[in-house]
């Protein structure tokens, strides 16, 4: 399958630079994956579109202030770090460095005038580095909250006054370097209304890292390799999904990360390849790393419907959504979205695929 088959033209002015003043006021395109029929509304219409007995599952990962600006101890040159994921050794992280060529192995980078420092101890694929910090655990977390910044996608150039607008209202588990943006449209009031209408709401955790936003650079989709991301699906959540489907309800995933976590957990439960060597932990939950790459032809076992934002051309996210609805049907819907002036990407509008 050719990567260029997932290209579409997007005017730059449709790339949202800031969130809607009220989260649930975002526009909502409703796409029927069977008929291709499109409806237009707003996110606050969701209670009309869901029904009692449906199960809504969302990703409760919280974005950490993973962007650190420091200086090389030897020269004072400014170095930027984007932390991607913690490693097994205390204080060790996988990170992107800019400019990476200026930092050699063994060099020390200092942050906050010396409150925190890190040594580059290893090099990995795709320009990634291993860095070991002078602090770990709760001490490191506290320093990161003070010295770090929430990393915004590079296509957002405007200043975000309130960093909480790049967090979902149900974000709990620290670990992501990008927000699960489909969930940004929910408000506490909207969630309460859905519960009152008989919609069950449960959560999984997938810490978003390089795997979600890394571009597909290969000509053939099959040659692309996803970066591993940590996920946890409570055993009760997977059981609730199976029960919902058995009684005729729908499992509605909030975001592509939720889809990846649930489908990985189902494969793990079934003793099949989960796409990342995951394992079931002692508590019975399904957790580990997944590099599952969902493309057209993928047999969805859990996901019935999807709430998602509008994605980048040639992205793994676009390919995942195409797997659910069909490439041609999805690209036609995107053409409609452009013509109708929908806002795209992280702070943009939403799509509900049923």
Residue 46's CB is within 10 A of a number of other CB atoms, namely 25
Q: What is the pLDDT of residue 279?
A: 53
DSSP helix/strand/coil, 120: strand
Q: What is the pLDDT of residue 277?
A: 45
Cβ-based neighbours of 272, under 8 Å, separated by 6 or more = none
Bridge-partner residues for 252, per DSSP?
A: 56, 305
Start-to-end CA distance of the chain, whole Å, equals: 25
Q: Note the pTM of the prediction, 2 decimals.
A: 0.93
Rounded CA-CA distance 261/269 in Å is: 12
Dihedral pair phi/psi, residue 66, rounded to 5°:
-85, 0
Give start-end residues of each CATH 3.40.1780.10 domain in the chain: 3-63+161-353
Rounded CA-CA distance 245/176 in Å is: 30
Structure tokens at 354: 């049923």
Rounded CA-CA distance 242/274 in Å is: 18
Q: Identify the architecture of domain 67-147 in CATH.
A: Beta Barrel (2.40)
pLDDT along the chain (354 residues), means of 10: 89 96 98 96 98 97 96 94 93 93 92 95 87 97 96 88 95 96 98 98 93 72 81 95 96 98 91 57 79 94 98 93 97 98 97 98
Instruction: Scan for tokens 């909250």, then name that residue.
Output: 145
Strands 200-206 and 55-59: parallel
- Give the HSE-up count for residue 158: Cα atoms under 13 Å, Cβ half-sphere: 11
Rounded CA-CA distance 56/190 in Å is: 12
Rounded CA-CA distance 304/250 in Å is: 6
Best CATH choice for the domain 3-63+161-353 from the list 3.20.20.70, 3.40.50.300, 3.40.1780.10, 3.90.105.10: 3.40.1780.10
Q: How far is CA 223 from CA 1, 42, 293, 314, in A?
A: 10, 38, 11, 13
Give start-end residues of each CATH 2.40.10.240 domain in the chain: 67-147
Q: What is the pLDDT of residue 273?
A: 58
Contact 346, 208 (CB under 8 A): no
Q: What is the pLDDT of residue 224?
A: 76
Cβ-based neighbours of 229, under 8 Å, separated by 6 or more = 85, 206, 207, 208, 209, 211, 212, 257, 260, 289, 290, 291
């Amino acid at each position: 399958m050719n990567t260029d088959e997932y290209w579409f033209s997007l005017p730059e002015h449709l790339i949202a630079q800031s969130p809607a003043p009220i989260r649930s006021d975002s526009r909502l395109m409703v796409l029927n994956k069977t008929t291709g029929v499109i409806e237009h509304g707003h996110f606050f219409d969701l209670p009309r579109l869901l029904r009692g007995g449906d199960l809504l599952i969302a990703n409760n990962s919280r974005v950490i202030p993973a962007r650190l600006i420091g200086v090389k101890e030897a020269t004072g040159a400014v170095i930027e770090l984007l932390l991607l994921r913690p490693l097994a050794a205390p204080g060790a992280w996988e990170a992107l460095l800019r400019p990476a060529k200026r930092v050699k192995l063994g060099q020390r980078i200092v942050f906050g005038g010396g409150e925190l420092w890190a040594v580059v101890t290893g090099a990995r694929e795709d320009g990634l580095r291993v860095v070991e910090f002078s602090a770990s655990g709760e001490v490191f977390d506290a320093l990161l909250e003070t010295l770090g910044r929430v990393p915004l996608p590079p296509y957002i150039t405007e200043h975000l006054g309130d960093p909480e607008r790049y967090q979902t209202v149900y974000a709990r588990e620290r670990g992501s370097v990008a927000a699960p943006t489909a969930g940004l449209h929910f408000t506490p009031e909207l969630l309460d209304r859905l519960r009152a209408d008989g919609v069950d709401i449960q959560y999984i955790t997938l810490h978003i890292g390089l795997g979600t936003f890394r571009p597909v650079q290969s000509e053939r989709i099959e040659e692309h390799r996803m970066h591993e991301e940590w996920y946890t699906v409570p055993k009760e959540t997977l059981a609730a999904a199976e029960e919902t489907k058995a009684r005729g309800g729908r499992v509605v995933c909030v975001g592509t990360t939720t889809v990846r976590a649930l489908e990985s957990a189902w494969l793990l439960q079934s003793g099949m390849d989960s796409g990342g060597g995951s394992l079931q932990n002692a508590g019975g939950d399904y957790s580990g790393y997944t590099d599952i790459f969902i493309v057209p032809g993928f047999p969805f076992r859990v996901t019935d419907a999807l709430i998602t934002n509008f994605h980048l051309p040639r992205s793994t996210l676009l390919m995942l959504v195409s797997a659910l609805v069909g490439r041609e049907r999805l690209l036609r819907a995107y053409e409609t979205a452009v013509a109708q002036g929908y806002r795209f990407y992280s702070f943009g509008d939403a799509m509900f695929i049923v």
